[in-house]
Amino acid sequence: MTDAASHGQLMDDVYRYQRLFYDITRKHYLLGRDHLIDAMDVRPGDRVLEVACGTGRNLAAIGRRYPGAGLCGFDISEQMLISARRKLEGRAWLAQGDACAFDPFEMFGTRRFDHIVFSYSLSMIPDWEGALAEALRHLAPGGTLHVVDFGDQAGLPAWFKRMLRAWLARFHVAPRDTLPDVLTNLAGDSRVARVEHLRRGYATYACVQRRG
């Protein structure tokens, strides 16, 4: 079994039943997702891709916030896509795929996106740096990459950080403490527009814009 297939099977096993109550439970600790959506500047006709779109919660919210956007999403877990298809009901193009190697033209009939979103997914992707590099390859000139995920919790008590990370590890989640530095290094001809540490470092929001 390939690494991608193995990871896909793991995610299916993790979310086979969790997907049924995922949105209800995650709203209490996946903080900053709506902050990311509000920070986007999506124009009618813009193409938006969410990598590892899960249940489709974020794509649905982006569609409400920015009518007229073309919504696309993919996930390595077919189980999660079952929920996403039901939630979005034809309002977005959805596919199964690997964040580290995907062909957007084959999936969605387009080669570039104006906005690409990672929302609490990098902490579950083994080669998360490779996933970021792959996404940047498919960003249109002037396009923007948006990321929100667990931060380094630097401003929170040490006991809370230990407890949180031990709990997250049970679900194969690992915060990416070096995310801001990695994005800066990967940007190349792009620029890191901003990095924000939310809730005393509980979460990190970062935005990279490709030069036009």
Quick one: residue 107, left, alpha or beta (phi over 0 = left, psi -120 to 50 = alpha)?
alpha
pLDDT digits over 129-162, tens only?
999 999 999 999 999 999 999 999 999 999 999 9
Determine the Cα–Cα distance for residues 68 and 91; give it in Å rounded to an integer: 11
Both tokens assigned to 155: 């401003």
CA distance 95 to 167: 30
pLDDT score for 212: 78
DSSP 8-state class, residue 152: -
- Measured distance between the N- and C-terminal CA atoms of the chain, rounded to whole angstroms: 40
CA-based angle 112:113:115, to the nearest 5? 155
- Dump the DSSP string for 155-203: TS-HHHHHHHHHHHHTTT----TTHHHHHHHHHTTEEEEEEEEETTTTE
Q: Over the stretch 73-86, which tens digit does the pLDDT of each residue have? A: 999 999 999 999 99
What pLDDT shows up at residue 43? 97
- Ranges of the chain with pLDDT below 70: 1-2, 4-5, 7-8, 10-25
pTM above 0.85, yes or no: yes
DSSP symbol at 42: P
pLDDT of residue 17: 44
Spatial distance between the Cα atoms of 148 and 152, rounded to a whole number of angstroms: 12
pLDDT of residue 209: 94
8 A C-beta contact, residue 42 and residue 69: yes
